[in-house]
Structure 1
Amino acid sequence: MTTQPARAIQFGVFFQGVNFGTIWSSAQSGSQHDFESFRRIAQTAERGLFSAFFLGEGLRLREHLGRVHELDVAGRPDAQTQLAALAAVTERIGLVATQNATYNDPHDLARRLASLDLLSDGRAGWNVVTTDNAWTGANFRRGGWLDHADRYRRAAEFVTAAKRIWAAEPGERVEAPDDLIPFATTSTLPRSRQQRPVVFQAGDSDTGREFAAQHADVIFSAHGKLDDAIAFASDVRRRLPAYGRGADELKFFPGQEFILAETDAEAREKADWVTHAQVSPQTALAYLEQVWGRSLSEYDPDGPLPDVDPVQDEADGTRGSMFSGLRAKQTADQWRALAAEKGLSIREFVIAQTTRRSIVGGYGSVADLLVRYVESGAVDGFNVSPYLVPTGLDDIVDGLIPELQERGVYPTEYAGTTLRENLGLPAVREPEAVRA
C-alpha cells in the first residue's frame, strides 16, 4: 500500500462558532475560550493526518428575542490569534481562518493572513465570507451599508486585491482592481513556501458557485449525500474553463457529521442520543421562538406546537438569517399541521427539522461507503463538524481512518509540509498575479 493513494479521501475539521450541533450540555464538552480546547482538537486532527483545521468565526454576539443567546457561543478570541498560537503546537495541519470581506480592509487582512502563512511555514488558509445585515454592520458604524447584490462583487474585488498583494515583492506598489475598494498600497512581506494562503469559500447560490469557480481553491458545501455531491461538483466544475482553470485547481469538501461505533446497530443507538442531546428542550423552544417572535417558555417541549399565532406575520432578520423574510404565521400553520399529522411534539418536530444528514454506521461499513465517494470523484474530502468538542474526532482518528487506510483510500503520511501540498493543489500560477 502506498503512502499517498492515487485516489483518496481527506478530512478537515470545522471548529464551529454559532450552532447547536455541538452538544454543549455534555460533561465532555470543552470551553470555547480556553486554548486547551483548540489545542486538543487540532492535535487530534493532525494525528489523523487531517488536511486542515477550520475555525468558524462571527463578528457579533448572536441575540435571541433581544438578548444575547444563551444556547450558543457568546464569542471567542480572534481566529487569526488562535491559529497563530496553534501554529506553534502543530507541524503539518493547515490553519484556516474565517475572515469577512465586507468588514475588513484588503491590505490589512492580506498582511495578517500572509503573516499567519509565514509563521506557520505555509499552512494558512482563508475562508472568505460576506455579510449584508445591519446588526453586524452596526459594530462597524456602517449599518446595512452594503446591498445584498454587491456582497459577492465586493468579495471578488477583495480577493483579487489580496492575491495581488500576496504576489507582489516587498516594497512593490499594488493598486485596487476595481471601484468598490479604492486603494493603493505597498507589499510588506515575502511569500511563504506555498506562495500565498489557500482560499476557501462556501456558497450554494448561483453567484456563490460562480465566485468559487473563479477565485477559490477549496469549496465547502452542504451537499454531503453522494448523489447531491456528484451533481454539485459537476455544476461547479463546468464553470472552471471560463476562468482558464483546470479541474485540479478546485477541491470539494462538503460538510459532514460522522456518528460511528463498532457496529451499525451501536451507531444508530448513538445517533439517537446525539440528536436528542443536540436539541435539548430549551433549544427546541428557542427554535420555534424565532418564528413566533415571543417567549414560549410556558409551553411543554414534549407537548404539541403552540396554539397561539406569531406576534407578527413576517419574521425579521433579527430572528436569524434562515428565518429572515419568511411569512411567520404561514410557517407556523404549516408546522402545526405537519406536527399534528405525524404526531410530533415540539422537541421531536425540531429534531426532524434540524437533524443533519449524518453518516451513521460501524467503522467498516462507513469506510466502504467512503470508498464509493472516492470512486465517484465527487468529493476530495469532508469538512467534519464534530458533535463534541474537543473529543469528537477520536472515533474518526482511532476507528475510521485505520479502516480507510486498509482499503487504500486514505494517506498514511502527509504529502508535504504546506497546506497546498497536502490538499493536492497545483502550485500557484504566475498569471494569477494580475498586477495593476
Structure 2
Amino acid sequence: MSTQPKQVILGAYLGGVNHHTSWWHPEAGSQIDFGTFEHTARTAERGRFDFFFLAEGLALRERAGQIFDQDIIGRPDTFTVLASLAAVTEHLGLAGTINTTFNEPYELARQFASLDHLSGGRAAWNVVTSFDAFTGQNFRRGGFLDPADRYTRAEETLKATRALWDSWREDDIAADPATGRYLARPDAGAFAFHGSQFDISGRFTVPRSPQGRPVILQAGVSPQGRAFAAANADAIFSPYGKLPQAADFYRDIKARAVAAGRSADDIKILPSASFVLGDTEAEALEKYRTVQLEQVTGQTALVLLEQIWNRDLSGYDPEGPVPDIDPDPEAPPIIQGRAFVHQDRFATAERLRAVAAAKKLSLREAVIDQYERGALVGTPAQVADRIVSFVHGDGSDGFILGSHLVPWGLDEFVEKVVPLLQDRGVLRAEYTGTTLRDNLGIPVPRVNLEASTRH
C-alpha cells in the first residue's frame, strides 16, 4: 500500500468576462494581449500546476440592450490561444471551453486532436451547452434548446467526437518492412455514427492522439448534469468551496461514476477558488475586504440583482436596503448573455432580504455576502493548510485557482504557497508524466473494438 499522501491537483484559470476580475486596477494587464495568457501559463507551469483553463464567452453581454460598461469586452478564439501556449510551455495541460450546441463533432474532434498532437498530449475539453436564444443569434442553428435537449445534443456530440478519436488506433500507422516507410492501415480513420442529432460517416484525418483522447471536463449540479458528468467526464467543476456541501457533492459524483461502471478515481472533483494572501491573517482579511469592494461596486451589485429581479433597479441606492418589490420573471430579460443560476427568483430575493435584515447589511453588502465564492484568505501557511485539509477531507481532489489581478496575481501563490504544498508532500516538485492524463492520474481510455464505428 502506498504511503504517499493524496496529491493536490491544481488548475489555473484566467479571469475574464465577469466582475471577479479587477480589470480597472492600475496594475491589471490586457485581457486579449498574448502576453497575458503566456505569463499566466508560464507561472502556472513554474508552480507545477496540472493545467491552464480558459473559459469562453460566445456573445457580448448586454443590459437593457446595451453592452455592459463594467464588463471586459471580447475574448480571443480558444483554440488559437491554447495552440499558441503549447509552443511556450512543456508540461502544462491546456483546457478550453467549447460549446456543443453550435459546433459539429467532426470539427471539434479535429481541433482537439490537433491541439493534443501539437502539445504532446496536453489537451482538455470543457464540455458546455448554450443556455439562451440570445447567444444562439450568433450562429446558424440559432434559437434555443430546452435543458433536456441541450444535454441530449451534448451527450451525442461527445459520443460522436469520441467515435472519431477512436477511429484511429495506436497501431494504425506501421512501418512497411520492405521500404521502411510508415503507412496507415486500410481501415484507419473510418467512422460512422448514427443518432438523433447526427448522421455522419467518412474518414477522420487526425491519427490517435498522444493521450488516447483529450481529457474531458464538465460542470453539472442538477441531477441530469451530475449523471452526464459522472458517466462522461474525467474531471468535474464543483460549485462547492465549503464543507460539508462539498463533501456531499464529492461522494455523490464518485458514487455515480461507480454506478456508471467506472472507478471512483477515474473522475476528479475540482472547485474554483480565488485567494488573498497576507503576512498576517488580519492583513489578509483587510486586503480581501478591499478586493471585494473593488469587485462589487454599487453598479455591479445592482446589475447582479437585476438578473434575479429581472427589473431595472438603477433607481435604487446600492448603500440602501435590498428592494422590497417582487421579481418579474414574465418580462423580457433585462440581462442577456449571462447564465442564470438561480432556480427560484422569488425565493432567492426573499433570502437576500432575510440575510440583509439579519446581518443589518445594505444592498451592496448583501450581494458581497451572498456572492462570496469561498476564497482562500490568510497567510501562505494558512492557505496551504486549508487546501490540504479540504482535499484530504474529500471535499475535492484539488482546486482551480485564479486571481482578481490579471495576469500577475498568480505569481504570489506560486512563490509563497506552492513551496509549502511541496514541503508537505502533496504537490509534485517536478513533472513526472508526459501527458495531462499522466499528471492527473487518469487512465488512458481503451478502444472497444467490438463497439468500433468502423464498417
TM-score by length of 2: 0.88
Counterpart in the other structure of 1:253 = 270
C-alpha distance in structure 2 between counterparts of 1:125 and 1:102, whole Å: 18
What is the match of residue 175 of structure 2?
Answer: none
1:183 corresponds to 2:182? no
Q: For residues 287-326 of structure 1, what are the structure 2 equivalents within 5 Å? A: 287-293=304-310, 295-305=312-322, 309=325, 312=328, 314=330, 316-317=332-333, 319=335, 320-322=338-340, 326=344
Q: CA RMSD in A?
A: 2.5
Instruction: Give the whole-Å Cα distance in 1 for the aligned partners of 2:293 and 2:449.
Output: 48
CA distance in structure 2 between the aligned counterparts of 1:338 and 1:311, rounded to whole angstroms: 17
Pairwise mapping of residues 355-434 of structure 1 onto structure 2 (< 5 A)? 355-431=372-448, 434=451
- Counterparts of 1:344-359 in structure 2, within 5 Å, are 344-359=361-376
Residue number in structure 2 paired with 1:282 = 299
Q: CA deviation at 1:294?
A: 5.1
Counterpart contact for 1:316–1:325, Cα < 8 Å: no
Measured in 1, the distance between the counterparts of 2:210 and 2:218 equals 22
Aligned partner of 2:102 in structure 1 is 103
- Which structure has greater helix proportion? 1
- The letter of the residue matching 2:155 is A
Match status 1:226 vs 2:218: no
Q: Which runs of 5+ in 1 are unaligned?
A: none
CA, structure 1 residues 145+287, in 2 after alignment: closer, same or farther (shift >3 Å)? closer
How high is the sequence identity, in percent, across the aligned residues?
47
Contact 1:291–1:315, Cα closer than 8 Å, also in 2: no
- Count residues with an aligned counterpart: 432
User: CA separation in 1, counterparts of 2:236 and 2:309?
Assistant: 35
The equivalences for 1:163-182 within 5 A come to: 163-169=162-168, 171-182=188-199
Provide closer, same or farther for how the CA distance between residues 54 and 63 of structure 1 changes in structure 2, counting only shifts above 3 A: same
CA gap 1:240/1:345 in 2 versus in 1, 3 angstroms: closer
Matched, 1:435 2:434: no
Distance 1:335 1:430, change over 3 A: closer
Tell me the equivalent position of 2:18. 19
Q: Is the 8 A contact 2:15 2:404 kept in 1?
A: no
Map Cα deviations across residues 15-41 of structure 1 (whole Å, 9 max, x no partner). Answer: 233321111221122111111111111
Distance 1:225 1:55 in 2: 24
Task: Name the CA distance, whole Å, in 2 between partners of 1:284 and 1:370.
Answer: 29
Structure 1 SS opposite 2:390: helix
* Paired residue type of 1:128: V
Could you tell me which residue of structure 1 aligns to residue 172 of structure 2?
none
| 330-339 vs 105-114, which moves further | 330-339
One-letter code aligned to 2:274: E
Which secondary structure does the structure 2 equivalent of 1:238 belong to? helix
Gapped regions of structure 2 (runs ≥ 5): 169-183
1:431, CA displacement in angstroms? 2.7
Whether the aligned pair in 2 keeps the contact of 1:316 and 1:324 (CA below 8 Å) is no
2:370 is matched by which residue type in structure 1? Q
CA distance in 1, matches of 2:250, 2:353: 36
Q: TM (normalized to structure 1)?
A: 0.91
- 8 Å CA contact 2:431–2:439 kept in 1: the answer is yes
How many Å apart are 1:284 and its aligned residue? Answer: 1.8
Q: Is the 8 A contact 2:102 2:141 kept in 1?
A: no
Read off the aligned partner of 2:272 and give its amino acid letter: G
Label 1:340 to 1:73 Cα distance change in 2 as closer, same or farther (>3 A). same
